[in-house]
Amino acid sequence: MEHGTAVFLTHAAHLVDGNLVTDLLSIGEKTSKTGPDPPAPAIVGGLNTHAVFEGDVSMTRGDFFFGDNHSFNQTLFDQVLCILYHPGSTVLNQPLWWRLLQIYGRGRAPIPTHPTINCYQSPIFLHRSSLLYRIRGIGFPVNFFVDGRSTEKKLDMEAGALFFRDGKYPTDFHRAAQPSGTEGVDMVFMVHPIAPGGGDRDNKVNNYVLDPTSADFDTFCLLYTNFVNQTIRGLYPNPTGVLRRNLIKNLGFFYSGIADAGCEELFPYGKL
């Protein structure tokens, strides 16, 4: 993974799901092993916390609303395979990912089948699940799951099943010869653009409300600003001592991942 992308994702996750006092993050559910929690409303819930890093509209897992958002869902995966692997095909590439988005994405959003689904800028930034985040996920396999010795970004069916179903690398797998970031994401999004929004407050299905204040791919700096000024300040309104120090440090690390994007760096807790 390209360094800036890795820094951005790592520190975004740590700032919302990690313990900013001990600087520890659970890669699973909430645990006492990360140390005493900072004061509420901090989450410190680990990567398993719903609608932060983990979100709805997965291609291989059910939605949180239905009770099991972590176990492999063979029915969903079979639907994906039917779309991607037409008879006689054994590989998938970016055009096929776009086809998946057109068919699969249109079927699950923006008309939700349950009242809690949301399609905001990204679950990382507003604690709301997001189809936009899943779009990035759709681009992820073509960038990272293809054997580095391949001259084309094509993922064979056997390797795809190992990654999605079993969470395993194929035998003799080689990483890419050079780092990747979010290549192809914009092209994928253009196939089926979805404006940010979600279910309304009346908890009704099939009732999608747009949110013009939520950032999208065209307003990346707004996404950064909302993350810092809304999400982080909402979780840590009045930090002091080591908590304030670590927030300043980790926000600085987070910004370093997007420093070349032209966004103005924010310092909600001052500087060290």
Among the listed residues 229, 231, 228, 230, the one whose alpha carbon sits nearest the alpha carbon of residue 254: 228
Model confidence over 168-195: pLDDT tens digits? 999 999 988 888 776 665 655 555 555 5
Domain boundaries, the chain: 1-52+219-271, 55-218
pLDDT at 121: 39
**pLDDT-derived band of residue 251, with 50, 70 and 90 as boundaries?**
very high
**pLDDT-derived band of residue 116, with 50, 70 and 90 as boundaries?**
low
Is pLDDT larger for residue 118 or for residue 165? 165
Q: Is 115 exposed, middle or buried (0-12, 13-18, 19+ CB in 10 A)?
A: middle
Would you tell me how many other CB atoms lie within 10 Å of the CB of residue 15? Answer: 24
Burial 145-158 (b: 16+ CB within 10 A, else e): bbbeeeeebbbbee
**pLDDT-derived band of residue 23, with 50, 70 and 90 as boundaries?**
very high
pLDDT at 256: 95
Model confidence over 27-67: pLDDT tens digits? 988 999 999 999 999 999 998 888 777 777 677 888 888 88
pLDDT at 90: 56
Read off the pTM.
Answer: 0.75
Is pLDDT larger for residue 98 or for residue 25? 25
Report the DSSP pairing between strands 155-156 and 208-210.
unpaired
pLDDT at 118: 47
Strand partners, 156: 91
Candidate ranges 107-121, 201-215, 219-233; pick with highest mean pLDDT: 219-233
**Regarding the domain with residue range 55-218, which homologous superfamily does it belong to in the CATH classification?**
Chloroperoxidase-like (1.10.489.10)
